[in-house]
Amino acid sequence: MRVGALEIQPVHDGWARIPADELLRFTGDRSDPWLPHEQFVTADGSLELAMGGFLVRTGDRVVIVDAGVGRIDNDRYHGGQFVDSLAALGVGPEDVTDVVFTHLHFDHVGWATQKGAVVFPRATFRCHAADWDHFVSGPSPEVGSVRKLTPLADRLDPFADGAPIAPGITIRHAPGHTPGSAVVVVADGTERALLLGDVVHCPVELVENDWEALFDVDPDLARRTREALAQELEGSDVPVAAAHFPGLRFGRLLSGTGRRHWSFLERG
């Protein structure tokens, strides 16, 4: 995806297959809520989710947004490809200058460290301070997050809402999924694109506002955040992608009578 002179490239790590009703819940009164959205659901009622992140080169900076699920390979999550995918784009771990986490769930920080060693040795690592507190340094940290992320502490640079990360890259706080959940904005001149992290897992959450993700820390806040985002995007020409959209593909939210519509963009 080109944004002016900048290019956003997907970095594939693998995939996951999760029963749709274990990830997303419809809160309206329709008897078959997935019927209008069959394109996203497999025959057995599962969602196939991409695992990975995005690469943006800007000036002398090489920026990764989210870092996949790591080497996890089990009955649901299948990772392990991230570093090879970067290599196919001409980037080695030592070339990366910035790693931006939209939030700190395990499937976005998998390649932050491996066996206690930092994978990207020259990078500055960035996340919202509220997520670092929630997952790592606060009064009730998650054990797995502490083990995975503590090696980054001396190279962590937390960001705030509206913070510039690198030329053309800024952050928008979008809380609810996690306390520090964020959207990454890539812009050049009048053109922009958004990387949504897990504010949205599946485009269905932008099309209708009667859905919630079962992993949202604050479901009510997450819904308000998503709906505000959908209202902003509806009918605009702003392309968006999220870390779990099929193929890490970009799309646009189109206006429609009674319900918005989602359209994936052609790969380019």
DSSP letter at 15 equals E
The one-letter amino acid at 167:
P
**CB within 8 A of 112, min separation 6: which ones?**
67, 99, 101, 118, 119, 125, 148, 149, 152
Residues written for the chain: 268
Cα–Cα distances (Å) from 267 to 50, 69, 208, 245, in that order, read 15, 24, 25, 13
Exposed, middle or buried by CB within 10 Å (0-12, 13-18, 19+), for 133?
A: middle
Fold of 2-264: Metallo-beta-lactamase; Chain A (3.60.15)
**Which backbone phi and psi does 82 adopt, to 5 degrees?**
-60, -50
The confidence score (pLDDT) of residue 266 equals 83
The confidence score (pLDDT) of residue 150 equals 97
CA-closest candidate to residue 135, choices 172, 98, 101, 165: 101
The confidence score (pLDDT) of residue 89 equals 98
Strand-pair category, 191-195 with 182-188: antiparallel
CA-closest candidate to residue 161, choices 171, 176, 169, 151: 171
CA-closest candidate to residue 120, choices 107, 109, 111: 111
The confidence score (pLDDT) of residue 256 equals 76
Give the separation between CA 98 and CA 118, rounded to whole angstroms. Answer: 13
Query: Per the structure block, which two tokens stand in for 222?
Result: 């997450």
**Which backbone phi and psi does 211 adopt, to 5 degrees?**
-125, 150
Sign of the Cα torsion 114, 115, 120, 123 reads positive
**Local structure of 82: helix, strand or coil:** helix
Give the separation between CA 259 and CA 242, rounded to whole angstroms. Answer: 21
One digit per residue, the tens of pLDDT, for the chain of length 268 reads 999 999 999 999 999 999 999 999 999 888 889 998 999 999 999 999 999 999 999 999 999 999 999 999 999 999 999 999 999 999 999 999 999 999 999 999 999 999 999 999 999 999 999 999 999 999 999 999 999 999 999 999 999 888 899 999 999 999 999 999 999 999 999 999 999 999 999 999 999 989 999 999 999 999 999 999 999 999 999 999 999 999 999 999 998 777 789 999 986 5
Do the beta carbons of residue 93 and residue 119 sit within 8 Å?
yes
